């Protein structure tokens, strides 16, 4: 998108044009991926017991992108992330990551494959220090030889965490706790970072800072799937967006197009 501060990275996954391919295969790479997508969610249905929370969700995240998922309370945004991260497996549909089917993989396997998440409400270990919480993010890593560099990268993104590294996480402000949650997710060296409501409950000054850092993390090369209630900020930093309504995708487009859409402006951007 032309007005975005950061263009998506080039997509090297496209199939080389040899002879004319079958139409059904035209968008697929040799690894089976669509349009350079790193994450592909296809017609996913997820339930809580008898409650049909996701009614056929299809979305993708491509290399280099920030993609945002916006929508009202209860639309199914968190459930979409829970379907991807293995906490609530879909009953129908497919989820592929880097071309591999992860639909029914266990959460620890999904983290190990490169998807990590900063969850809604942070979910820190309050009696552990900032540093210990960050270390928890490396739990699934087989190779920990880059631990020091990874920690330095997190401290460079969040200098406040370096200052508070020996402080118990439970005594930090909400904004600082959000930084720990994002830092912990980054310590897992994700190939895809999922953020669930990073701005929730934060003072405006922290909200702006968090979104700046989201852009910086992406600029350093990590694709991001961003769930947000703050649609205005989310559409401002994202390349593309999906609008969710009661378990399905109501609308999808480039983020700058969605931000100008009258329906989106009325429902989510507080404009009349």
Residues that bind ligand ATP (CB under 6 A): 48, 51, 53, 71, 73-79, 229
N residues, the chain:
272
Instruction: Specify the residue, 64 or 247, whose C-beta has the smaller distance to ligand ATP.
Output: 247
Q: Tokens representing 207? A: 């909200």
CA 7, 13, 14, 17 torsion-angle sign: positive
Contact 94, 43 (CB under 8 A): yes
Q: How far apart are CA 175 and CA 252, in angstroms?
A: 30
Cα dihedral 75→76→77→79 (10° resolution): 160
d(CA 178, CA 128) in angstroms, rounded, equals 15
Q: Measured from the CB atom, is 112 or 269 closer to ligand ATP?
A: 269
Q: Least Å distance between CB 79 and ligand ATP?
A: 3
Shortest distance in whole angstroms from residue 77 CB to ligand ATP? 4
Which residue, 19 or 73, has its beta carbon nearer to ligand ATP?
73
> Shortest Cβ distance from residue 81 to ligand ATP (Å)?
8
Given the complex with ligand ATP, which of 8 and 71 has the nearer CB atom? 71
Shortest Cβ 174–ligand ATP spacing (Å): 17
Nearest to 126 by CA among 160, 177, 161, 163: 177
Strands (E), 140-205: 192-196
Of the two residues 167 and 229, which places its CB atom closer to ligand ATP in the complex?
A: 229
Give least dist CB 78 to ligand ATP, A.
3
């Amino acid at each position: 998108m032309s007005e975005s501060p950061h263009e998506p990275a080039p997509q090297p996954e496209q199939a080389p044009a040899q002879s004319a391919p079958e139409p059904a295969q035209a968008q697929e790479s040799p690894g089976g991926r669509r349009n350079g997508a790193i994450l592909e969610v296809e017609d996913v249905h997820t339930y809580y017991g008898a409650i049909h929370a996701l009614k056929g969700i299809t979305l993708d995240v491509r290399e280099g992108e920030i993609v945002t998922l916006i929508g009202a309370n209860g639309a199914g945004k968190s459930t979409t992330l829970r379907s991807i991260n293995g906490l609530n497996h879909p009953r129908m549909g497919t989820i592929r990551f880097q071309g591999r089917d992860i639909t029914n993989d266990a959460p620890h396997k999904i983290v190990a494959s490169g998807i990590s998440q900063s969850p809604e409400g942070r979910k820190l270990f309050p009696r552990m220090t900032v540093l210990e919480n960050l270390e928890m993010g490396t739990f699934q890593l087989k190779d920990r030889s880059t631990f020091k560099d990874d920690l330095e990268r997190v401290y460079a993104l969040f200098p406040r965490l370096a200052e508070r590294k020996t402080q118990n996480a439970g005594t930090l402000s909400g904004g600082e706790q959000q930084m720990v949650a994002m830092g912990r997710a980054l310590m897992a060296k994700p190939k895809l970072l999922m953020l669930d409501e990073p701005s929730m409950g934060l003072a405006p000054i922290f909200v702006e800072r968090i979104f700046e850092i989201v852009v910086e993390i992406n600029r350093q090369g990590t694709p991001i799937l961003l769930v947000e209630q703050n649609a205005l900020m989310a559409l401002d930093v994202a390349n593309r967006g999906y609008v969710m309504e009661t378990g399905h995708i109501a609308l999808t487009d480039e983020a700058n197009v969605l931000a100008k859409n009258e329906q989106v402006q009325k429902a989510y951007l507080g404009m009349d």
